[in-house]
Amino acid sequence: MKLKAKLLDIQAGGRRIAILDDKTASSIGVHSSDRVEIAHNNKHLIAIVNIANNFPQNYIGLYQEISEKLGIKEKEFVDVKHAERPEALHYVQSKIRGERLRENEIRAIVKDVVERHLSDVEISSFLTALYIHGLSMDEIEALSKAMIETGSILSLNKTPILDKHSIGGVPGDKTSILIVPIIAAAGFFIPKTSSRAITSPAGTADRVEVLCPVNLTIDEIKDVVIKTKGCLVWGGALDLAPADDIFIQVEYPLAIDPLLLPSIMSKKKAIGATHLIIDIPTGRGAKIKTIGEAEAVAYDFIDLGRRLGINVECAVTFGEQPIGYAIGPALEAKEALSAIMRDGLLDLKEKAANLAGILLEMVGIKNGKQTAEYILKSGKAERKLREIIEAQGGNPKILPEDIKIGDKKAEIKAGKHGQILWINNKYIAQIAREAGAPKDKGAGVKLQVKLGEYIKKEATLFEIYAERTTKLEAAIELATKLQPIGLSRKLENRMIMDRIPKPIKHKKTFTLER
């Protein structure tokens, strides 16, 4: 059927959606959520129908994704006909019924996700079914491979290629900013891609962006890595696993994450990793609560690595408090730069040297941790970081003092003396976000205490930094409500650890950082 195009001067977030009024839809024999094939200029594509009651009859409303792809101009006639539902939808239905999917079925689903043949409603149902029924390791492998096949790759044609990943959940984890220079300075390739914060106060890409640009193309990344052996870039726009980008978008409001393993591993394979260390922060307040859970996840990563041809080792790390003291992009960049230049910040350096050490041992270096520590202490890591900053287009001479921190500041003080018993990761993250992080790069939280320390009454527990007064005030209010740091004169005085239901309920959801 010929319909007149009405172009909507707007994108639909990558989706391929066509608008029809009820009568026109009925003439074509389609309902809302059905598919139509739209043809124009010898090109055609499949779109998903949305019904708008007051839309003019015999018109088809097209978002830019469609009109640009087919080169359709306003009021041109296009051919529109009913299209069958994609085969992949049957496999989604199989998964809803709890069946195991075969490789070709998973490949069909991933392909149709990337080509936008499946709607968000269908993808949501698929992800929910995956979450509830779980995935076999064969399904995880097939999903990973299909995600890699449908994405871009970084081909360095070098081997070995080392990489590091943290499954996240602990604020202030700027370890990668130390590990990448250590590994590169040791002479190994480490093309590190990182994510930006979605629900946390800072992702590694947000932190590094304070030091230099992170939004590089694949070709630019290649140049940086050939020159310096390492990089610290944002992976989000590289299209390494476009299916995963869509899955993450749909998962976000649901706060479920059934594809953790394929999501991480497909991107590692796409940059050509041969040796990978995975950091699994563990403890109360981390994603993984116990060492038992951490080990189960670790063996899954190792198994999947073997299936994909990546040598994987995992480190279960202490996740009950932030890494270092700083939380927020600029605060953390400053802290990482200080750490690589100067003495101090023992927990951050200890973690970085340990993880870098495991990686080095995986490629045959003896005494990995000591080697990493030497590279740090000797200034080689700092020089390498500055090389990378320069190669990515930043100022290689940058000093910690050059990094601008929010000029609005508040101190949160202890109401009594005692020992620090816990630091609530989630609350610290919420306070940093309330102060403006990650958007306001200078905003965040700076701890003045860590677990186990003894402090006096009126000593500062942490500082809040913000770029705007209203944000600072909101963060102070939240900090007062949440009381993220617990201390006690004597342990016996704090036998009541929690109260249920909580007197104050704060409803932000923190997940899905990759």
Residues in the site for a second copy, rule: CB under 8 A? 8, 10-13, 19, 26-27, 29, 31-34, 50-55, 61, 64, 84-85, 87, 89-90, 92-93, 96, 98, 119-125, 127-129, 131-133, 198, 249-250, 252-256, 433, 439, 507-509
Write down the least CB distance from residue 433 to a second copy, Å.
Answer: 8
Q: 24-33, long-range: CB within 8 Å, 24+ apart, which pairs?
A: 24/55, 24/57, 24/58, 24/59, 24/60, 25/49, 25/51, 27/1, 28/1, 28/80, 28/81, 28/82, 29/82, 30/82, 33/119, 33/121
Residue 218 is encoded by which pair of tokens? 């694949």
**Nearest CB to a second copy, comparing residues 124 and 152:** 124
**257 counts as catalytic:** yes
Q: Which is nearer to a second copy, 257 or 335 (CB)?
A: 257
In 3-state terms, what secondary structure has residue 258? coil
Written as six digits, the tokens of 89 are: 């939808």
Question: From CA 352, how far away is CA 366, in angstroms rounded?
Answer: 17
Q: Which is nearer to a second copy, 64 or 159 (CB)?
A: 64
Pairing of strands 35-40, 43-51: antiparallel
The distance of closest approach from Cβ of residue 444 to a second copy in the complex, given in angstroms and rounded to an integer, is 15
Closest distance to a second copy from the beta carbon of 249 (Å): 6
Taking CA atoms, 391 is separated from 207, 271, 386, 396, in Å, by 17, 19, 9, 9
32-36 long-range Cβ contacts below 8 angstroms, 24+ apart: 33/119, 33/121, 34/82, 34/85, 35/82, 35/83, 35/84, 35/85, 35/86, 35/117, 36/80, 36/81, 36/82, 36/83
> Would you say 111 or 269 has its CB closer to a second copy?
111
- Which CB atom, from 33 or from 395, has the smaller least distance to a second copy? 33
Dihedral of CA atoms 76, 79, 83, 86 in degrees, nearest 10, equals: -50
Choice among 163, 206, 257, 300 that is catalytic: 257
Q: 11 or 290: whose CB is closer to a second copy?
A: 11
Q: Measured between alpha carbons, how far is 181 from 228 in angstroms, rounded to an integer? A: 9
Q: How do the residues of the chain divide into helix, strand and coil, expressed in percent and rounded to 5?
A: 40, 20, 40
Hey, what amino acid is at 155?
S
Residues 6+ apart with CB under 8 A from 210: 329, 330, 332, 333, 334, 403, 441
Instruction: Decide: 457 and 400 in contact? Cβ < 8 Å.
Output: no
For residue 315, give the 3-state DSSP assignment.
Answer: strand
> Among residues 126 and 325, whose Cβ is nearest to a second copy?
126
The answer to whether 90 and 47 have CB atoms below 8 angstroms apart is no
Least distance from C-beta 305 to a second copy, angstroms?
A: 29
- Would you list the DSSP string of 316-341? EEE-SS-SSSEESHHHHHHHHHHHHH
For residues 63 and 188, which CB has a smaller minimum distance to a second copy in the complex? 63
Contacts of residue 494, defined as CB under 8 A and 6 or more positions apart, other chains included, come to: 421, 486, 488
Tokens of 39: 């043809």
Q: Minimum CB separation from a second copy for residue 35, in Å?
A: 9
Give min distance, CB of 204 to a second copy, in A: 18
Q: Tokens in use for 6?
A: 């009405």
Shortest CA distance to 154 belongs to which of 65, 219, 71, 62? 219
The whole-angstrom separation of Cα 96 and Cα 147 is: 21
Minimum CB separation from a second copy for residue 84, in Å? 6
- Cα distances (Å, whole numbers) of residue 153 to 198, 239, 242, 383: 24, 8, 11, 29
CB of 159 to a second copy, least distance (A): 37
**Based on CB atoms, which residue is closest to a second copy, 133 or 222?**
133
- Verify cis geometry, omega within 30 degrees of 0, for the bond prior to 438: yes
Spatial separation of the C-alpha atoms in residues 51 and 30, rounded to whole Å: 10
Least distance from C-beta 127 to a second copy, angstroms?
Answer: 7
Residue with Cβ nearer a second copy (137 or 255): 255
In the bound complex, what is the minimum distance in angstroms from residue 95's beta carbon to a second copy? 10
What sections of 38-96 are H helices per DSSP? 64-70, 87-96
**Catalytic residue numbers, as ranges:** 257
